[in-house]
Amino acid sequence: MPVVPHPFWLETEPEEAERWLETEPTIFSLRALGAWSDVNDRIARFSPYFRSVEHSAQIAGATLTHRENDFKAGKLNLLSCSTTMEMGVDIGGLTAVAMNNVPPHPANFLQRAGRAGRRGETVAVSFTLCKSTPHGEAVFRNPLWPFTTALAVPRVSLQSAPIVQRHVNALSLAAFLAHAAPGDLRRLTAGWFFEATHTDHSAPAERFGQWCQDEARGEAALLQGVRQLLQRTCLDSRPIEALLANTATMLTQSAESWRAEIQALLDNLEIVKTREGDSTPERAIGRKTTRRLCRRAREPHPSQTPARRQKPRS
């Protein structure tokens, strides 16, 4: 194999590498044998290259952060992205954005193209591949489409009964917690809400369901808020008492689902329980029960508390 006369072609003219590739006799012989291709030419030239990775919602968050940092540091120079990079990510130094199809809306195009040229680059390029579709061909005939098309004002549809009911649920729960919850509302947990304590015979969730059917009808502020919420919606003509009854029913269903999930975890914990109480499965199920389902750490369930080995008496 031939030896490159100048390491990395430092301190040489840009045409020196091409001249050497065209005049080196050994390379002529290797080309005739099929042992020297265009890939070898690129290697001998020390040509710039692209190192690309995927950036999409299918990638773990920690991996995405690592890839973004490598991209910012120049260790990666090409990101193949889904819409994850459309908004909320600011990476300076981008000089080009290429889209393999026309975005569905001008706002999407402006968001994607706007990723480049954000930190004072003198030149930034946005390239869009217009595929053979009605939308792609229309944009190909009118390249100014993303800049001349009026952006529609976003609106919220009020004709979805489940969505309106959920807002009624949230408003009712806020009114209930305002006088029934102890201390800082931000520190409340699902365990406090769905389970009874040693001092209370009923859980706050049960009291909330009963409150929706009885006492909530006398809460003037709540009733006024619900009336304002229902204006010009599909539930505007429904009685507030019926909506509050739906809130209590949906709350009962949520409580049953939560307790069933907790019980399934506790049953699994009972299956894998060891005498020492600190095995890997026990710790994993315990963390999921306490953190993901928000049982209060200061009042753990007896079956969640690892059993410690008793010290022998002296």
Query: What per-residue confidence (pLDDT) applies to 293?
Result: 57
The b-or-e profile of 278-306 (16+ CB within 10 A means b, else e) is eeeebeebbeebbeeebbbeeeebeebee
Please compute the mean of the pLDDT values over residues 143-150 and round it to a whole number: 91
3-state helix, strand, coil in the chain (%, to 5): 55, 5, 40
- Domain boundary assignment for the chain: 7-45, 52-148, 161-304
Beta-carbon contacts of residue 38 (< 8 Å; ≥ 6 apart) = none
- pLDDT tens-digit map of 57-92: 888 888 988 988 888 888 888 888 887 777 666 676
Angle between helices 240-272 and 280-287 (to 10 degrees): 170
- Highest average pLDDT, of 97-106, 192-201, 299-308, comes from 97-106
For residues 281 and 304, give the distance between their C-alpha atoms in angstroms, rounded to a whole number.
Answer: 12
26 in Cβ contact with 35 (< 8 Å):
no
Q: Report the half-sphere exposure of 130 (CA within 13 A, side-chain side).
A: 11
Query: What's the fold here for domain 52-148?
Result: Rossmann fold (3.40.50)
Please compute the mean of the pLDDT values over residues 127-134 and round it to a whole number: 93
Query: What per-residue confidence (pLDDT) applies to 133?
Result: 93
Question: Following CA atoms 187, 188, 190, 194 in sequence, which dihedral angle do they give, to the nearest 10 degrees?
Answer: 160
Whether pTM exceeds 0.75 = no
> What is the percentage of the chain residues whose pLDDT exceeds 90?
32
Query: What per-residue confidence (pLDDT) applies to 141?
Result: 95
The CA-based angle 189-190-193, given to 5 degrees, is: 95
| pLDDT of 283 strictly over 90 | no
Average pLDDT of the chain to the nearest whole number: 82
Query: What per-residue confidence (pLDDT) applies to 73?
Result: 83
For residues 123 and 1, give the distance between their C-alpha atoms in angstroms, rounded to a whole number.
Answer: 41
Query: What per-residue confidence (pLDDT) applies to 295?
Result: 44
Radius of gyration of the chain (CA): 32
Give the number of other CB atoms < 10 A from CB of residue 117. 19
